[in-house]
């Protein structure tokens, strides 16, 4: 399902796959503020499931409820077959969690960080050493095992966080914005690593992100969350197909006139037109090539000049706009304001 009204979804159609995570009508309230408003979905075993949304959408609150960090106000969450509220200890034993912040101790070495977490999960000594060696191999930090964490780069520290979450061999892996703050190269390296981990360890992963590209490349299914509500859910392809129009044409005229919007909407195949800035429009169309031709002809007939013209396939950004009425990237390019890092337990 992809409709915002239903606010819930189940695993993909096909042969029944046991659900690793089932969330039913989950709500989180902080006083009068409702951070998560009755969200339901399920994640199949071995699936990479993405929660996509802007900052403050409720993604982190959702993941914190599923990982027993934040009490659930109402609703139910079953993780690895255990109720998060009633059997939280069993849930904790079976999950690996990578919080948004880098929480490995900078004064300890890579190996010490992993060893302490393995002890917190009561991994026996022999198994502990084997697990540490394996996860270091998996995240490509073998030669850094004796290095103090504070000497690692941001990308390496993020890989250490991932290794730390895997040191007790969890079956479900929760990652809260795993690539935030990383440069593009490190980000791609983390994606490749996560994809590799999924294949080799048969992990179920739930990832929150506000990067469209990350969700698109990494996730089998994506739930779009906005203002604490699940507004759409499906595979990236399903989500893109759910938006009317197969292509996006970005057109920039040399000057703005009041009639452009109307003229563009009247073109054949065009399903919607978004004004981006003066003379700049994003046109959703079922036929990119035909609309492009029509745009050139229109400009020529009116004696106007096209500054730029590009045709793209529908992106998740368009999906987000379609379901929420605004662009996700708008949320990300707001003028930077100084904000303190979120405190544990603070409202999202």
Partner 1 sequence: MNRMFAIVEREMRKFFRSPTLMIMSLMLPLMQLVIMGNAFGGKIVGTRVAVVDYDHGPQAVKIREAFQAIAVNIKTFTTVDYTDEKQAREDVRTGKIDGAVIIPAQYSRRVYAQDAPVIGFVADNSDQFTSSSLEAEMQLVVTALTTPAVQPRLANTIALEIVELYPYVNYMKFLLPATVALAMYISVMIGGGMLYIDDKARGVHEGYLVTPITKLELVMGLNMAGAIKATLAGISLTVIGSLMAGLGVIFHPEALAELFCLILVTAIAFNGMMFLLMVRVDDPLVPRAMFGVLNTLLFYPSGAMYPIAAFPKWLRALAVVDPFTYSIHGFKAILLKDGGFQAIQFDLFFLFTFGMATLFIATPLFKRTL
- Contact assessment for residue 66 and residue 75, using Cβ atoms and an 8 Å cutoff: no
Query: Tokens for 74?
Result: 């109402």
Name the residue nearer to partner 1 (CB basis): 303 or 344: 344
Please, what is the minimum distance in Å from the beta carbon of residue 61 to partner 1?
Answer: 10
- The pattern of x and - marking residues 144 through 183 that bind partner 1 according to CB under 8 A reads ----x---------------x-------------------
Q: Return the residue of 258, 303, 336, 344 that touches partner 1, per CB under 8 A.
A: 344
Segment contacting partner 1 (CB under 8 A): 19-27, 39-47, 246-254, 339-347? Answer: 339-347
User: In the chain, which ranges are continuous DSSP H helix?
Assistant: 59-66, 88-94, 110-120, 125-138, 154-166, 184-201, 212-218, 236-241, 260-265, 288-302, 316-324, 328-332
- The pattern of x and - marking residues 40 through 69 that bind partner 1 according to CB under 8 A reads ------------------------x--xxx
Asked whether position 95 contacts partner 1 by CB under 8 A, the answer is: yes
Q: Return the residue of 59, 92, 157, 158 that touches partner 1, per CB under 8 A.
A: 92
Query: Tokens for 275?
Result: 């004004």
Asked whether position 343 contacts partner 1 by CB under 8 A, the answer is: yes
Rg, the chain, Cα only: 23
Segment contacting partner 1 (CB under 8 A): 41-49, 88-96, 195-203, 297-305? Answer: 88-96
Sheet holding 48-52: strands in order across? 95-98, 172-176, 204-209, 48-52, 221-226, 229-234
254/306 Cα distance (integer angstroms): 6
Name the residue nearer to partner 1 (CB basis): 120 or 237: 120
Please, what is the minimum distance in Å from the beta carbon of residue 94 to partner 1?
Answer: 10
- Residue 297 exposed, middle or buried by CB count within 10 Å (0-12, 13-18, 19+): exposed
Asked whether position 28 contacts partner 1 by CB under 8 A, the answer is: no
55/59 Cα distance (integer angstroms): 8
Please count the other Cβ atoms lying within 10 Å of the Cβ belonging to residue 179.
Answer: 23
Q: What single DSSP character describes residue 335?
A: P
Asked whether position 30 contacts partner 1 by CB under 8 A, the answer is: no
Please, what is the minimum distance in Å from the beta carbon of residue 227 to partner 1?
Answer: 21
Asked whether position 345 contacts partner 1 by CB under 8 A, the answer is: yes
Asked whether position 31 contacts partner 1 by CB under 8 A, the answer is: no
Query: Tokens for 348?
Result: 């999202």
Query: Tokens for 192?
Result: 């490749």
Segment contacting partner 1 (CB under 8 A): 99-107, 226-234, 257-265, 278-286? Answer: 99-107
C-alpha atoms less than 13 angstroms from C-alpha of 310 in its C-beta half-sphere: 7
- The pattern of x and - marking residues 100 through 139 that bind partner 1 according to CB under 8 A reads xxxxxx-xx---x---xx-xxxx-----------------
Name the residue nearer to partner 1 (CB basis): 277 or 338: 338
Describe the crossing of helices 154-166 and 184-201 by its angle, rounded to 10 degrees.
Answer: 20
Please, what is the minimum distance in Å from the beta carbon of residue 120 to partner 1?
Answer: 4
- Contact assessment for residue 327 and residue 321, using Cβ atoms and an 8 Å cutoff: yes
Q: Report the interface residues with partner 1, using CB under 8 A.
A: 64, 67-71, 89, 92-93, 95, 97, 99-105, 107-108, 112, 116-117, 119-122, 148, 164, 341, 343-346
């Amino acid at each position: 399902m992809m409709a915002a009204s239903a606010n819930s979804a189940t695993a993909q159609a096909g042969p029944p796959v046991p659900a690793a995570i089932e969330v039913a009508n989950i709500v989180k309230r902080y006083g009068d503020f409702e951070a998560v408003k009755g969200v339901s979905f399920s994640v199949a075993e071995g699936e990479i499931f993405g929660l996509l949304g802007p900052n403050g959408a409720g993604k982190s609150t959702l993941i914190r409820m599923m990982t027993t960090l934040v009490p659930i106000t109402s609703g139910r969450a079953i993780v690895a077959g255990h109720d998060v509220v009633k059997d939280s200890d069993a849930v904790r034993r079976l999950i690996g969690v990578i919080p948004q912040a880098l929480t490995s101790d900078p004064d300890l070495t890579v190996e010490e960080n992993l060893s302490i977490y393995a002890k917190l999960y009561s991994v026996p000594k022999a198994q502990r050493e084997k697990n540490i060696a394996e996860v270091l191999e998996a995240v490509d930090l073998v030669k850094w095992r004796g290095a103090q964490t504070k000497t690692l780069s941001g990308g390496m520290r993020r890989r250490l966080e991932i290794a730390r979450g895997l040191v007790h061999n969890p079956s479900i892996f929760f990652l809260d914005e795993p690539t935030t703050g990383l440069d593009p190269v490190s980000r791609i390296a983390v994606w490749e690593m996560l994809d590799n981990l999924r294949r080799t360890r048969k992990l179920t992963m739930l990832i929150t992100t506000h990067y469209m590209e990350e969700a698109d490349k990494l996730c089998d299914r994506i739930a779009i969350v906005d203002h604490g509500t699940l507004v759409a859910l499906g595979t990236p392809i399903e989500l893109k197909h759910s938006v009317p129009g197969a292509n996006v044409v970005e057109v920039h005229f040399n000057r703005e006139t009041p009639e452009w919007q109307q003229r563009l909407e009247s073109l054949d195949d065009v399903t919607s037109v978004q004004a981006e800035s003066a003379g700049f429009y994003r046109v959703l169309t079922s036929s990119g090539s035909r609309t492009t031709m029509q745009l050139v002809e229109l400009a020529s007939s009116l004696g106007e000049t096209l500054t730029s013209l590009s045709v793209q396939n529908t992106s998740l950004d368009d999906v987000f706009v379609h379901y929420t009425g605004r662009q996700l990237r708008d949320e990300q390019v707001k003028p930077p304001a100084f904000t303190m890092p979120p405190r544990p337990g603070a409202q999202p």
